[in-house]
Each structure stands twice: as C-alpha cells, then as structure tokens.
Amino acid sequence: MKEKQTVLITGGGSGIGLALAKKFLANNNTVIITGRNLSKLEKVKIELPQIHIFQSDVTNDKDVKELAENLEKDFSGIDVLINNAGIMNLLDAGAANNDLQEQLNEIEINYNSPIRMLHHFLVQLKKSKNAVLINVSSGLAYVTFSQAPVYSGTKAALHFWTQAIRPQLKLHNIRVVELLPPVVDTKLAHDADLKDQKLKPMPAEQLANIFWKDYMKGKDEIIPGISKQLKFMSRLAPEFIFKQLNKEPIPEKK
Ligand SMILES: NC(=O)c1ccc[n+]([C@@H]2O[C@H](COP(=O)([O-])OP(=O)(O)OC[C@H]3O[C@@H](n4cnc5c(N)ncnc54)[C@H](OP(=O)(O)O)[C@@H]3O)[C@@H](O)[C@H]2O)c1
C-alpha cells in the first residue's frame, strides 16, 4: 500500500479504533474518526490535531448519509472504511426483566451498522484506487460466550458476512479485511468485567501493532493473541473450548 489513503474509523474516539487511528496517522494517512459523544472526539482532536472528527451515530441512517456526503465533499471520498464501533452487553437470556430494545440496539450497532456503512460508502470505495473494507469482529466469532449472547451472535454474523462479501467486493477491487481481536484493554472490556475471565487483556497499542504488520503483509484475516487459539480449538475440540469459555454462563449481577 504505497499511496496515502483516506481512512474512516467508526467509534475511533477510544480503545481499538483510536489505536488503529494512531497507526494510520503515523503512516501518513488522512484519518477521520466518528462516535456519538462529541466531547470525547474533541479531546482526541486536542491530542492529535491532524485527525478529523465527525459526530455520527452508526445506527442513524441520516447521520451516515450526511457523513458520506461530507466526506465526498471535503476529502473526495474515502479509501478505507473501518467498521469498528461496537458495544457488548452481558445478559442472562433467562431473566424476566431483560430490556428488548437494548438487545436489538446491540444488533443494530454491531451487525446492521457495518452493512449500513458499506451501503452508503460503496460508491466512494469503488471509486478509490486502493479501497479496503476492514471489519472489527471478535475472537468470539469462533466460540460463543454465554455471558454476552447477543454480542456473540452479532460477531459470528459479522464474521460470516465479511467472508461472504470478500469474493464479491474483490471483483470491484475492494480488499476485505477482518480483525478478530482477543480481550483488549479498553472501556468495553472493563465495563463487561472481562478481566474476571482470567484472560490477560492485550493493550490496544499492541493489537494495533499486530494489525499493522499483518495488514501490510496483505493478510485478510488478522487473528491476534488468544483469538488464534479460539479458532484452532473451535475446529479441533469445539465442545471442550465451549465448556472452557462458559464455566460461568450467567453474568454476575452488578
Ligand atoms: N475490547 C475487547 O476486548 C474487544 C474484543 C474483541 C472485539 N472488540 C471489538 O472492538 C471494537 C471496538 O471496541 P473497544 O474495545 O475499542 O471499545 P470502546 O473503547 O468502548 O470503543 C467503542 C467505540 O464505539 C463507539 N460507538 C459505540 N456505539 C456507537 C454508535 N452507535 N455510533 C458510533 N460510534 C459508536 C464508542 O463511542 P461513543 O460512545 O462516543 O459513540 C466508542 O468510541 C468493537 O466492535 C468491539 O466489539 C473488542
């Protein structure tokens, strides 16, 4: 990838998205990040003045359309779309008082929105000479995690969608990459208390370094740390690895 690229990262104001943003910036690309919380994005802009910020909710069709129009106008379109925005809710599907809207919203952010983003940015990607779509799924796309049932479903769906569209978009010269992170030290992992799962979270910067090396090598599935073991074990001993990951299927009440 020799040419400078214009890179859009959803949810780039924190965690994995921000670490990826820093990597692309350090390699002389133009980087645009989005999120719902404007003051969070503004803080990033103070730290990284060369970054571009847009308040935009991936679940809001109007927001995404406007974002696409603005980026076409201001940057003549993007070359790289990174579908990174995501949330993770721990949930007991057997509990009587679950919030249905919250569960549907998790699907909307994690799965429907990458489809929405591609829909509105396809014209720009097709126009680019070095277009890349990068979807951030999860190692949990290989082995489901009972404590986060909706999340696990969305990540498995994102994984399959990514695999399905790869040969299709190749016909339009759009490279499709999937990053399947292990537990990473971010707000998402802290809020879900994933550190209690006895898995040492990987620093986001380390994840971004692994991503960058594999991305530059031309790998289309980037599987850092324990995600690699999850993939391997899901083929070799699926019942064993399922039991290992789901010794405590019900999340602790907070
Ligand atoms: N951390 C892990 O252990 C881990 C492991 C595997 C995969 N992942 C995946 O990595 C991705 C990034 O997560 P992270 O760990 O870096 O968590 P994070 O720090 O909480 O980042 C998530 C980002 O998504 C943004 N976001 C959430 N909903 C959004 C919406 N509707 N529209 C636009 N932006 C939205 C958030 O910003 P606002 O709140 O301002 O909107 C936030 O900046 C997610 O897809 C996650 O599933 C994480």
Amino acid of residue 136: V
Q: Is 151 a catalytic residue?
A: yes
Mean pLDDT of 111-122: 98
- Residues having CB closer than 6 A to ligand 1 are 10-11, 13-17, 34-37, 40, 57-59, 84-88, 109, 136, 138, 181, 183-184, 186-189, 194
Going from N- to C-terminal start, the domains of the chain cover 6-245
* pTM metric for this prediction: 0.98
pLDDT at 234 over 60: yes
Q: pLDDT, tens digit, for every residue of 149-200?
A: 999 999 999 999 999 999 999 999 999 999 999 999 999 999 887 655 567 8
Residue nearest ligand 1's atom 25 by CA: 11
In tens, the pLDDT along 32-78 reads 999 999 999 999 999 999 999 999 999 999 999 999 999 999 999 99
Per residue in 195-221, pLDDT tens? 555 678 999 999 999 999 999 999 999
Q: Is the pLDDT of residue 15 over 90?
A: yes
Distance (Å) from CA 58 to ligand 1 centroid: 11
Q: What per-residue confidence (pLDDT) applies to 253?
A: 78
Is it the case that residue 254 has pLDDT exceeding 70?
A: no
The topology under which CATH files domain 6-245 is Rossmann fold (3.40.50)
